Structure 1
Amino acid sequence: MRPWTLLDLDKALRAGWAADTCSPSDISHVPWQPENPAWGHCDITALIVHDVFGGDLMLGDVHQDGRPQGFHWWNRLPNGVELDLTREQFRNGQVITGARVIERPPGPLPRRWEEYLLLRGRVEERLGPLPEPS
């Protein structure tokens, strides 16, 4: 097995994003489309990045035109670098505020567990086994 690069992980995640892994709350507002593949994938993407690198899970509030639109997840790596592999999904002037560290839910996720497992499986098909969730 060859070592992975961050680019390898990014490509594997992008190859795995699809309508069946998009957040139902996001897809109910705007349908998932291949032209914006990151749409609705921030939470499970951040969890998979956390599986690989550890660090902190970050959560912020999404606003558009001053109105709340939901939440956005990303990562802060152990060295302090913030990594957001899905930020590009915001193409309509959305603003993310209130960044905060959140605890990873223990065990199976209370929501989006099936989508997480599906995306994680797709990433493993491309890269090989991932570290177990911490």
Structure 2
Amino acid sequence: MIPWSLLDLDNALRASWAVDTCSPDDQADWGPGNPAWGHCDITALIVNDVFGGDLIVGEVHLDGTQHGFHWWNRLPNGVELDVTREQFQRGQVVTAARVVERPPGPLPRRWEEYLLLRERVINHLGPLPEPV
């Protein structure tokens, strides 16, 4: 196996994001100009598959109104990694961050999109560690 760099994983994720892996409530605003849009949850899960650590979720606010949630990772060494942060191009602010436990087994929401994104990343990189 050839070792990956963090850039390899980042490039594989970016090449794999598409409207069919975007969160259904964000698909109307998804486009190639902002491919990270609507992908934070399943992207954070794939980063968690590779590195472990914690999943973090925060509230997204725009002009004082909550507009959903944002997910990212805290690696086992304490470094926070947010691969999809650039999706917020309209001045959104993320607040109220908290660590959440990854649900065991198939996800209750977005399981098919997660599997599709994971498959695409595997096509770029080769086998990934099994989900925790």
Asked if TM exceeds 0.5, the reply is yes
- Is 1:114 paired with 2:112? yes
SS of match in other structure, 2:68: strand
- Is 1:2 paired with 2:2? yes
Please list the CA deviations of residues 88-122 of structure 1 after superposition, one character each: whole Å capped at 9, or x if unmatched.
00000000000100000110000100000000000
CA displacement at 1:26 relative to structure 2: 1.5
Match of 2:124 in 1: 126
SS of match in other structure, 2:130: coil
Tell me the distance in 1 between the aligned counterparts of 2:34 and 2:99: 26
Which residue type is aligned with residue 21 of structure 1? T
Match of 2:58 in 1: 60
Which residue type is aligned with residue 47 of structure 1? L
Match of 1:21 in 2: 21
CA displacement at 1:44 relative to structure 2: 0.3
Could you state the TM-score of these two structures normalised by the residue count of structure 1?
0.97
Q: Quick one: percent identity of the two aligned structures?
A: 77
Which residue type is aligned with residue 66 of structure 1? G
SS of match in other structure, 1:120: helix
CA displacement at 1:27 relative to structure 2: 1.8
Tell me the distance in 2 between the aligned counterparts of 1:105 and 1:15: 26
Structure 1: segments with no counterpart, 5+ residues: none
Could you state the TM-score of these two structures normalised by the residue count of structure 2?
0.99
Q: 1:90 aligns with which of 88, 91, 95?
A: 88
SS of match in other structure, 2:119: helix
SS of match in other structure, 1:4: coil
Which residue type is aligned with residue 72 of structure 2? W
Tell me the distance in 1 between the aligned counterparts of 2:36 and 2:125: 19
Match of 1:33 in 2: 31
Which residue type is aligned with residue 16 of structure 2? G
Please list the CA deviations of residues 1-22 of structure 1 after superposition, one character each: whole Å capped at 9, or x if unmatched.
2100100000000000000000
CA displacement at 1:132 relative to structure 2: 0.4
